[in-house]
Amino acid sequence: MTTPSSPDASADPRTDQVEVHDDLVLMVVNAESCIGAGQCEMSAAHVFLVSDDEGIATVIGDGLLARSTAIAVADQCPGRAISFIELDEME
């Protein structure tokens, strides 16, 4: 499981440009850490839903986001409850 950090980047030695890999990742919510602020739902409503009854976010749909978006959503979570799994780690 990956926690928020800088995007997976590598320098291209030919140009000294940084190449950002924006692969899809699977989002995860730690229900014990979630405080129900709803930042995730506001940022990616097609992936997160905060329950009106429980006040806890859950992953909905396929749970996939581009890595750069996943990092931003996880960084915005005040409870630090959002993380993601690299799809190649699931194989």
- What's the pLDDT score for residue 88? 82
Helix (H, G, I), strand (E, B) or coil at 35: coil
Q: Along the 91 residues of the chain, how does pLDDT read in single tens digits? A: 655 544 444 444 444 444 445 699 999 999 999 999 999 999 999 999 999 999 999 999 999 999 999 999 999 999 999 999 998 877 6
This prediction's pTM:
0.73
**Residue with token string 């499981």:** 1
On whether the CB atoms of residues 48 and 29 are closer than 8 A, the answer is yes
Tokens at residue 66, please? Answer: 């581009």
Residue 11's pLDDT is 47
* pLDDT (0 to 100) of residue 82: 98
